[in-house]
Structure 1
Amino acid sequence: EIAKSTNRVRVAHPTITGLQICYFDGVTAKDHPANLIGVKLEDSYDYFLQTRNRLPTSFVAAENTPEELSQIFKETMRKVAIEREERLHVMRQSWPCAPPTYDAQKPLRVFLAASRLTEVMQYASKNIGKAFELLGHEVAISVEDNDLESLHGTHHLKALHEFNPHIIFNINSHSMLNATVPDSVFNVNWWHDLMPDLEKGTQFEIRDRDYTYSALKQLDPFIERCGVRDIQRQGFCVDSTEFFEKSCSPREDRIVFAGSSYQGTLYDKSQNAASALLEIKEAFEAGVSLDENFLRPIAEKYKISYKYVFWDLLHFVVRDISVEWLCDASPLPVEIYGTGWQKNPKVQKFHKGYIAHGVDLASLYRTSKYALVTHPFEINSQRLAEVCASGCIPIVYDCTHSSYEPHWRDELTFYKTKAELIDCLEKQLGHPAPKIGEYFSYLNFANKIIARVRSHNKNLR
């Protein structure tokens, strides 16, 4: 009965959930729902050691069940956890097959690992994988197939070793689970965010065939602290097979924004943090350029970390206040999508709920005249690329004071104050910018990597 109710459960992510799994001591029947799984107690150790499904977290027994069964279950799960980690340690130390050979007449094999709990990175992995396939190469992506699964590192490494790739492609990681990689294999790292390894300054082992790309120049100093010297710029990309313009699609005269509120990231509740937030907000409302020269003295003045000021307060102000401006004064209908906005009384009535990245988001952009783009320090964001590729007109927060080029001055319409934002809509300024969408295609990035690999490897021409 519990399985049939298809309960959703929390799975270490604020918005993504999993289908509750009900395991029982027995054999699964054909008419059982997919989330009702029979595992005989005597087989449970082997099953849970190997399964891709999420492991059970509690033991529920009938009234007369002997207490020792509960203890057996707990001990079994403890042993499974230990054995998985021991196997992962062993698997990291070796590459159990002959390293791949290169043949100019054959496609390259590209491997990626992802998680369904990392929405943006998951789609980025799938999209760059799709681009490599369009170029004629073989691709394997190790990721959960459904909402019952939760892959362990051993699953990813098993898939990696079986595929024996020429190229390993990592997003927001220097290496896949710190695994040993043959010298002949290319290891591509594409940094999108300030991840824990970058924050801590973890020292990476740098190989001759490691290629490092950074989406944001603000990440470069952190990457350099980890020992990387050759950093190449690669901005966020757009999947042109999903985000594209349809001339036959009618566009509604509205402005949309798709993205979560940053209210939930403001974990510092001190008076100093509140004062810093107020000062940044007032400067933003006045159209001040919120660069490091402005922000670092605020961090020092209020004795809070510059990291918190830059990555949390700044992001909140630019995105959430811009959305509030829209909801307060836009002459056009406003639709806001994403999580967290239902808690903001200024935005609530414009909030349309969550929208999935991919087909649904592309359809929204294709049927809307305008979209708001609010990155606090980067013009060339993924949101901008997707909006432009879909033929929607972007209204963009002007952070050219901190963004790397191109700034697309001839293609984009910028705002820095509430008055400028509303003026753009009242005067119906701006025009579609498909050139930007084409510039940031995954296909271009994949081509760039293949060309670099072929140039590097003397056996390829």
Structure 2
Amino acid sequence: MFDVSELIETDSHIEADRGFGIQAIREGILRANLARLRPVDQPSKAQLEAWRVATNASEWFQAEDGLIVRCNEAMSRDTRRANERTVKPLIEELETRCRGPVLLEGVDPPWMLKKLIDAQTPIDFQSFHQRVLVLQADWNEFLDGLAYVDLGEGLGDERFKWFVGDEASERLLGWVCGRLDDAPPAMVVQNPMVRTKALPDSTALMHEIDVRWLKNESELVQFMKGRSVGSRAWWSKRFGQAGQEQEPLRVLIPTARHSTYLKYAAADLAQAFTDLGCNCQVQLEQDDSQILSKNTHLRSVHEFDPDLIVTINYPRCKLGEHIPKDIPHICWVQDAMAHLFDWKIGELIGEMDFVVGMVKPELIDQFGYPAEQTRWMPMVASKAKFGHEPIDEGFDSEIAWVTHQSEHPDLFRDRLVGNMKVNAPAAAKTFAKLLDDVEQLVTTITTQNLRTHIDSLIDQAFFPNGVPEGARAIRTSMYNDMVNPYAERVFRHQAAQWAANIAVRRGWRFKLYGKGWEEHPQLAKFAAGPLEHGDELGACYRNSVVQIHASINQVVHQRVSECLLSGGLPICRAISNSFGYANLMVCVSADLEYDKDLMTQGVRTPWYVEIDSCPQASDLIEHLRRLEICDEQLYADGKMKWSDETLALARERLGVSEQRETAEMVVSMSDLYFTNEAQLEVIIERAIGDKAARNRRICKGVEQMPRALTTDGIAESMLKMIRTKLDQA
């Protein structure tokens, strides 16, 4: 239960002035607040009349600042500050992450309720709205609470559920227990000024809810223990004959409504599996204030009986200890989330677990993920959702960009440093300096390998003597969760400022789509609001002459694929790292020579090819020079060189079809890349000046797009990977 035991202070500085119209003022406030509630939550005429009689028995005052207070033996004149101070830690927690419902008992006085109404959504989950269950046994107290102050339009939000009057506790208990897929209340707040407690009160109710949830979990666990466990041979036959001699495969995809990308990625993947003949079920919150119970996964497994479970960014062990180990499970990695970089996760991966997607090498090399069950696969787009021909007139902008990363880099930096001050105060100053160095590096990057230089900055700042074995997860998290996202933010906002500069200078229309751009100090005037994934997003791609993409992590992103499929022209900010796979392609496709003398001299790059005699090498160098990111010193002798390790890496990675095809796509799109403001302007001007050439380039991009970059392709690859592994038994 949330601690509200601190003493209520009396503020003796209110200068009260009792006016004869105080009751009329209070009734006006009450009417305004009640008008926001649904009809089912409104009091009856009799209850309102009973309140009028009861409230006249108390002394009410209006202070000089307009605050309405009550004075009698049971209540101090001003509890507002104490109420707000008591609930402050709760509000701070709710504004940082999604939680199950808050159970609030008592709204008189209403300061706790008002804080819950006014609380901001979690910064990383802007679509989530905290659910609040309000319990009040006495109608008079409830109406008194709503007669203090105008509580605003938020009072009428669907996320508030009201349980007032006779049998309020029973109704609340029935409502909660009738939603076993919802997370139960995560915390209880009992207003210390509540005069008539509910029976049972909020604390006792929470205990009863916990008992029922544990009983429900126990029943589901027994179902799991009683199910038939499929052998490896049985699963091999099931996957091999599904849709032929057996019924279609059943695929369960648990996901999160509160992450826009994950919600639509799961839906698109489900459609792709359905198109392949599977029966799919997406497990998703039903509204913006719901958090699913951990029992929901067990219920879905029990009722749907899946043959395959696919979760985005979460391995099987994160779904709960009772999820059956024999059902094939795929963790589809889309983001480098901290919980994945843990050797304990690697140890828990069983023989029926598979990890695919944006799989970083360190998952295998440092955290024990089994290589044979781990496979890199690209970020993908739905061809069915975004397929459309380009247009040649009727554009609503010359330049557009769809991105939710609208928070200014300075604000993001302050937030990161603030978190460091809380979690590791001694490191905060060094960390702030590190971020400043990263910003300088990103905004001036030319020929350097950005990842290598960022790693060097981190190690110089925090690990000058190397990374200890026990600090690997911390080092990885520092890069993935803090430094890399900050570098990405700086990189994107610099490109957005270039586009804004060009638009103003040339009189072109520039639109920034996504949440929060209207708050940006420099780019607010270009804000165009968020878009719904699907037709609305596809129309945006198509109706702008060019669409910008910028990422230090991946130049060919699902946004790029979506844009091409929608009939749009994506142009991408590149860095030297963007051509890493192109370099590996030259390595595996060229006739390499070996210089023994170099090895005897201690040089670690004995494999080479003469650039002028190798078309692939010549083309790559030409691309780098055009983009002004070619490190001429590396090729001063006319050779492109590789080490034994790089050659082995190239053969390993490009031996995987998805990586090879993605690498080919990266190279094929290099004419659409830019690295500075001047190059960006040239590409935009070219697209505006020759719409026919623009449209031909879009069609060419769609033709060159491998199936591996589509949801259909990745669904096929997932099933193929499982079948291959099962057939090896």
Q: Normalised by the size of structure 2, how large is the TM-score?
A: 0.55
Whether the 8 Å contact between 2:357 and 2:379 is mirrored in structure 1 is no
Question: Relative to 1, partners in 2 of residues 1:247 and 1:388: Cα closer, same or farther, differing over 3 Å?
Answer: closer
Secondary structure, in 3 states, of the residue corresponding to 1:147?
A: coil
Within-5 A mapping of 1:444-455: 444-455=713-724
Within-5 A mapping of 1:64-103: 67-69=196-198, 72-81=201-210, 84=213, 88=217, 91=220, 94-99=224-229, 102=238, 103=241
- Structure number with greater CO (CA < 8 Å, separation at least 6) is 1
* Letter aligned with residue 535 of structure 2: V
Whether the 8 Å contact between 2:129 and 2:288 is mirrored in structure 1 is yes
Q: Normalised by the size of structure 1, how large is the TM-score?
A: 0.84
* 1:256 matches 2:397: no
Provide the rounded CA distance (Å) in 1 between the counterparts of 2:681 and 2:563: 19
Secondary structure, in 3 states, of the residue corresponding to 2:667?
A: coil
Match of 1:347 in 2: 523
* Letter aligned with residue 568 of structure 2: C
* 1:246 matches 2:389: yes
* 1:211 matches 2:354: yes
* Letter aligned with residue 203 of structure 2: K
Whether the 8 Å contact between 1:287 and 1:416 is mirrored in structure 2 is no
More displaced stretch, 319-328 vs 3-12? 3-12
Whether the 8 Å contact between 1:327 and 1:346 is mirrored in structure 2 is no
More displaced stretch, 306-315 vs 13-22? 13-22
* 1:143 matches 2:301: no
Q: 1:324 aligns with which of 497, 504, 513?
A: 497
* Letter aligned with residue 188 of structure 1: I
Q: CA deviation at 1:169?
A: 0.5
Provide the rounded CA distance (Å) in 1 between the counterparts of 2:539 and 2:706: 15
Gaps of 5+ in 1: 27-31
* Letter aligned with residue 186 of structure 1: P
* Letter aligned with residue 675 of structure 2: K
Whether the 8 Å contact between 2:331 and 2:356 is mirrored in structure 1 is yes
Q: 2:550 aligns with which of 374, 383, 392?
A: 374
Whether the 8 Å contact between 2:298 and 2:322 is mirrored in structure 1 is no
* Letter aligned with residue 489 of structure 2: F
Q: CA deviation at 1:395?
A: 1.1
Deviations 1:129-170 (A, max 9, x none): 111011111111111123353211112321122111111111
Whether the 8 Å contact between 1:53 and 1:148 is mirrored in structure 2 is no
Whether the 8 Å contact between 2:378 and 2:708 is mirrored in structure 1 is no
Match of 1:29 in 2: none
Q: 1:235 aligns with which of 338, 353, 378?
A: 378
Within-5 A mapping of 1:411-422: 411-412=669-670, 413-422=672-681
Question: Relative to 1, partners in 2 of residues 1:223 and 1:189: Cα closer, same or farther, differing over 3 Å?
Answer: farther
Whether the 8 Å contact between 1:92 and 1:177 is mirrored in structure 2 is no
Q: CA deviation at 1:324?
A: 1.2
Instruction: Select the structure of larger CA radius of gyration.
Output: 2
* Letter aligned with residue 254 of structure 1: E
Deviations 1:388-409 (A, max 9, x none): 2212111111145255424533
Gaps of 5+ in 2: 1-33, 42-116, 138-155, 419-427, 464-474, 582-662, 689-693
Secondary structure, in 3 states, of the residue corresponding to 1:141?
A: strand
Question: Relative to 1, partners in 2 of residues 1:9 and 1:90: Cα closer, same or farther, differing over 3 Å?
Answer: farther
Q: 1:113 aligns with which of 254, 278, 283?
A: 254
Match of 1:410 in 2: 668
Provide the rounded CA distance (Å) in 2 between the counterparts of 1:34 and 1:294: 49
Secondary structure, in 3 states, of the residue corresponding to 1:242?
A: helix
Aligned-CA RMSD value: 3.7
* 1:384 matches 2:565: no
Provide the rounded CA distance (Å) in 2 between the counterparts of 1:73 and 1:273: 44
Question: Relative to 1, partners in 2 of residues 1:278 and 1:68: Cα closer, same or farther, differing over 3 Å?
Answer: closer
More displaced stretch, 269-278 vs 201-210? 269-278
* 1:268 matches 2:417: yes
Question: Relative to 1, partners in 2 of residues 1:201 and 1:268: Cα closer, same or farther, differing over 3 Å?
Answer: farther
Secondary structure, in 3 states, of the residue corresponding to 2:521?
A: coil
Q: 1:16 aligns with which of 127, 130, 135?
A: 127
More displaced stretch, 75-84 vs 135-144? 75-84
Secondary structure, in 3 states, of the residue corresponding to 1:355?
A: coil
Match of 1:3 in 2: 37
* 1:188 matches 2:222: no
Secondary structure, in 3 states, of the residue corresponding to 1:169?
A: strand
Q: CA deviation at 1:236?
A: 0.8
Q: CA deviation at 1:281?
A: 3.8
Secondary structure, in 3 states, of the residue corresponding to 2:228?
A: coil
* 1:424 matches 2:683: yes
Secondary structure, in 3 states, of the residue corresponding to 1:3?
A: coil
* Letter aligned with residue 67 of structure 1: T
Question: Relative to 1, partners in 2 of residues 1:341 and 1:394: Cα closer, same or farther, differing over 3 Å?
Answer: same
Q: CA deviation at 1:285?
A: 3.9
Provide the rounded CA distance (Å) in 2 between the counterparts of 1:92 and 1:297: 48
Whether the 8 Å contact between 1:237 and 1:441 is mirrored in structure 2 is yes
Q: CA deviation at 1:450?
A: 2.2
Deviations 1:49-105 (A, max 9, x none): 4414576677799x9x85331871233124424653675588568444224662542
Within-5 A mapping of 1:162-201: 162-175=303-316, 177-182=319-324, 184-201=326-343
Provide the rounded CA distance (Å) in 1 between the counterparts of 2:511 and 2:526: 5
* Letter aligned with residue 682 of structure 2: D
Question: Relative to 1, partners in 2 of residues 1:85 and 1:390: Cα closer, same or farther, differing over 3 Å?
Answer: farther
Q: CA deviation at 1:425?
A: 1.6
Question: Relative to 1, partners in 2 of residues 1:84 and 1:20: Cα closer, same or farther, differing over 3 Å?
Answer: closer
Question: Relative to 1, partners in 2 of residues 1:43 and 1:381: Cα closer, same or farther, differing over 3 Å?
Answer: same
* Letter aligned with residue 327 of structure 1: A
More displaced stretch, 15-24 vs 121-130? 15-24
Secondary structure, in 3 states, of the residue corresponding to 1:69?
A: coil
Size of the aligned set, in residue pairs, is 451
Q: Sequence identity, in percent?
A: 17
Provide the rounded CA distance (Å) in 1 between the counterparts of 2:718 and 2:554: 23
* 1:313 matches 2:486: yes
Secondary structure, in 3 states, of the residue corresponding to 2:529?
A: coil
* Letter aligned with residue 370 of structure 1: V
